[in-house]
Amino acid sequence: MNVRFFAAGLACAALLAGCGGDTPSAPAAQSAAPVRTLSVVPVTQQDHEAAVQRLYLAYFGRAADPDGLAFYTGVSQRLQLVADTGALYWRYGVDSGVRAVLDGMAQSREAGALYSSDHRATVAMMYRNLFNREPDPGGLAFWSDLLARGVFTRGQVPVALLSTASIDDLTVFDRKASLAAAFTRALDTPERAAHYSGDAAVAALRAVLGKVDANTSAAQEAALVQEALAAVAASPAASKVNAIVGARCVACHSATPTMPGFASAPRGIRFDTPEQIRADAYRIYVNVVQTQFMPYGNQTKMTQAERDIVRAWYEGGAL
């Protein structure tokens, strides 16, 4: 470990503790941040999955989908990500692997769509995703200024906010993470997993996560999980179909195919945009639902539940 960097980090943390979860003028009992450590490394599969759910919540404001959970659980096991997400603030500065993961999430297409290019709007959204509240004026000015001056990156700010958060804010984050984990566990059928795809489904889940507060009980969490499952299932089909086509078809049918052996889209058919998908709705319906000829050889493992969503979308007018 770089000792000089770590010492500087400790000094920085002292400064941040006055500018994170509450306004600097708040009573000490409310604004004091808990002691953070570099310990508490997850041991079991369940521990690593819990750590991943916290990352999804911190960077995407949502629960992990089953495929994403499996992928990042492997990453967590490889990098030994600490269970305390706020402690990753320290690891970001001294561990290139952790820095690459957090920057990758912050620079992803999903994060790019979620967060504004405006630094103040981005910080405000991060507060909502983490703590279900608006930032205090001092915190908003402090963190947006750090982003504007390039002192911190968008990969750093969520974990830095957690590293300096108040007890009340951390309690809300923990409750949201628990609900997110319970929601993902409830995606235990192909139909439920298929419904949790697309912007509309994610937005429906975020709305339910936004109802969590520091006093949310276990019984209320269970009810919110059922509410989230119902809301996600009822979300518009077009968004789900776009996500399904993106996951199962675009590897070949794209201006830039990624499937080995394809230098260009077969027969020039491309599904890179929602407009292209809707324009070819009938062809998609025939090949995916009626004949099930596509994906070819089902190399991308489209499920029957996903085909059923495509059927409902087309028969409902491809809207």
Q: What is the pLDDT of residues 34-59, one digit of tens each?
A: 444 444 566 788 999 999 999 999 99
Mean predicted confidence (pLDDT) in 270-293: 92
Q: Is the dihedral of CA 226, 227, 229, 230 positive or negative?
A: positive
Q: Does pLDDT of 18 surpass 80? A: no
From the options 1.20.120, 1.10.3130, 1.10.3470, 1.10.287, give the CATH code of 3-16+41-169: 1.10.3130
Q: Does pLDDT of 308 surpass 60? A: yes
Residue holding tokens 């520091």? 214
Q: Does pLDDT of 214 surpass 60? A: yes
In this prediction the pTM is 0.77
The domain spans of the chain are 3-16+41-169, 170-233, 237-315
- Measured CA to CA in angstroms, residue 202 lies from 195, 199, 232 at distances of 10, 5, 7
Q: What residues contact residue 76 under an 8 Å CB cut-off, 6+ apart? A: 42, 48, 51, 52
Token digits of residue 45? 């599969």
Cβ-in-10-Å burial (0-12, 13-18, 19+) of 188 comes to: exposed
The better pLDDT of the pair 72, 19 is held by: 72
Q: Does pLDDT of 154 surpass 50? A: yes
Q: Report how far residue 33's alpha carbon sits from residue 36's, in angstroms, rounded to the nearest whole number.
A: 8
Mean pLDDT, the chain, whole residue set: 86
H helix or E strand, kind and range, residue 317: none
Token digits of residue 299? 């190399």
pLDDT in tens, 167-210: 999 999 999 999 999 999 999 998 899 999 999 999 999 999 99
pLDDT of amino acid 42: 63
